[in-house]
Structure 1
Amino acid sequence: MKLSAELGSFCKRLGHRFETPALLVRAVTHGSVSSPNRDDNQRLEFLGDRVLGLVMAEALLAADKTATEGQIAPRYNALVRRETCADVARDIDLGKVLKIGRSEMKSGGRRKEALLADAMEAVIAAVYLDGGIAAAQSVVLRLWAGRIASVETDARDAKTALQEYAQARGAPPPAYVEVGRSGPDHQPVFTIEVRLTDGAAARATAGSKRQAEQAAAQAMLDRLSPEG
């Protein structure tokens, strides 16, 4: 099987030459175009998530030989979460080569964060199956290099930090409420308000609920920072 010129260019951006090109084709095929004669990338996505996790855990342990598990865990979470995978996918223009159905095409599927993140994990699995763990490790470390180098010492996300703030004061976890939604169905914009039991509240707007929740939590932390 010979790859198309478009997928050949993608391989250069990815940094891996496939001995079994069918693996890459499967990795970039979304379920919206699957058929009895064509496999989609869901099973590869499942495997790629585990391969990415293993490579990243080993890389973080090697990068900081004195860090505790409590320090490593938040860094790990920041590097393997969906948003990061989607960002890496955008870096190599993975969306351009995705095979998606007509409905997904119309709804902006090539730009969807969840779809890009899943496809990125599927591509990692395809590299692993094609070239083994060394090949997968090489691709992941190259694509994530800048993020590994710049991951914060304390990479707890804002929601976790705010929940710990509340727990330390004997209060229930913060509540996140969707207070607004705008934009087209394929590219919605959410406004989320985070509320503490003492009446404090903060809002933020973003292109996904998770991003808006994180931004609202950060806004609340910024407001609370003078208190510690």
Structure 2
Amino acid sequence: MKLSADLAAFAARIGHEFRRPELLVRALTHASISTATRPDNQRLEFLGDRVLGLVMAEALLAADRAASEGQLAPRFNTLVRKEACANVAREVGLGDVLKLGRSEMMSGGRRKEALLGDAMEAVIAAVYLDGGFEAAKAVILRLWGDRIGAVEADARDAKTALQEWAQARGLPPPAYTELKREGPDHQPIFTVEVRLETGETEAAKAGAKRQAEQAAAKALLARMDGT
């Protein structure tokens, strides 16, 4: 089997030459277009998630030999969460080569964060099965690049951090309210407000409700820490 020109270009972008091209094809095949003879990427996604986790755990341990487990865990979560995988997928143009069914394609599947993140994990698994752990590690470290060194020393989920801030001051957990949803169904924009019992609020917009909540929490925490 020989890769098509667009898949060969994608393989070059991620930095791996496939000896078994069918693995890459499977990694890029969404369930919406799979058949009995054309399997989807879900099993590869499962494997790729584990490979990514091991590589990131190793990288973080090597980057900070003095960090405790409590410090390493949030950094790890920042690097392996679906949003991070989707961002890497966008950078290498994965959405352009993702194989989708017509309905999924019409609903904007090539831009959906969950689909991109899942497919990125599947691609990692394809590299692992094709070239082994060292090949997968090299691809991951290349694609994640500066993210590993730049991850905040105390990187925490912003919503969790804000809740801890509130609890430390005897306040109940912050309340989140969806203020607005704009745009088409396949590409919505959410506006979310976070409010403390003491009245302070911040609002943020994002393409996913969870991202908007995180952004609002981060903004409010930064403001409260500065007061």
Give the TM bin, normalised by the shorter chain. Answer: over 0.9
Gaps of 5+ in 1: none
Measure, in 1, the Cα distance between the counterparts of 2:36 and 2:100: 16
After superposition, what is the alpha-carbon deviation per residue over 1:127-146, rounded to whole angstroms, capped at 9, x for unaligned? 11111111111110111121
Question: SS of the counterpart of 2:194?
Answer: strand
Match of 1:135 in 2: 135
Query: 1:125 Cα shift?
Result: 0.7
Match of 1:221 in 2: 221
Match of 1:169 in 2: 169
Measure, in 1, the Cα distance between the counterparts of 2:208 and 2:99: 23
Match of 1:198 in 2: 198
Match of 1:36 in 2: 36
Query: 1:47 Cα shift?
Result: 1.0
Measure, in 1, the Cα distance between the counterparts of 2:212 and 2:36: 39
Measure, in 2, the Cα distance between the counterparts of 1:44 and 1:172: 42
Measure, in 2, the Cα distance between the counterparts of 1:11 and 1:81: 23
Match of 1:56 in 2: 56
Measure, in 2, the Cα distance between the counterparts of 1:125 and 1:171: 45
Q: TM (normalized to structure 1)?
A: 0.95
Question: SS of the counterpart of 2:205?
Answer: strand
Counterpart residue identity of residue 87, structure 1 = N
Measure, in 1, the Cα distance between the counterparts of 2:43 and 2:174: 35
Question: SS of the counterpart of 2:226?
Answer: helix
Match of 2:23 in 1: 23
Question: SS of the counterpart of 1:211?
Answer: helix
Aligned-residue sequence identity (percent) comes to: 71
After superposition, what is the alpha-carbon deviation per residue over 1:37-57, rounded to whole angstroms, capped at 9, x for unaligned? 211111111111111001000
Measure, in 2, the Cα distance between the counterparts of 1:172 and 1:198: 10
Counterpart residue identity of residue 71, structure 2 = Q
Alignment pair present for 1:7 and 2:10: no
Match of 1:124 in 2: 124
Query: 1:108 Cα shift?
Result: 1.5
Alignment pair present for 1:113 and 2:110: no
Alignment pair present for 1:91 and 2:94: no
Measure, in 1, the Cα distance between the counterparts of 2:11 and 2:226: 49
Query: 1:199 Cα shift?
Result: 3.2
Measure, in 1, the Cα distance between the counterparts of 2:176 and 2:151: 26
Question: SS of the counterpart of 2:178?
Answer: strand
Counterpart residue identity of residue 95, structure 1 = G
Aligned residues: 227
Measure, in 2, the Cα distance between the counterparts of 1:207 and 1:122: 23
Measure, in 2, the Cα distance between the counterparts of 1:24 and 1:118: 14
Measure, in 2, the Cα distance between the counterparts of 1:67 and 1:178: 37
Query: 1:205 Cα shift?
Result: 1.3
Q: TM (normalized to structure 2)?
A: 0.96
Counterpart residue identity of residue 108, structure 2 = G
Measure, in 2, the Cα distance between the counterparts of 1:84 and 1:70: 20
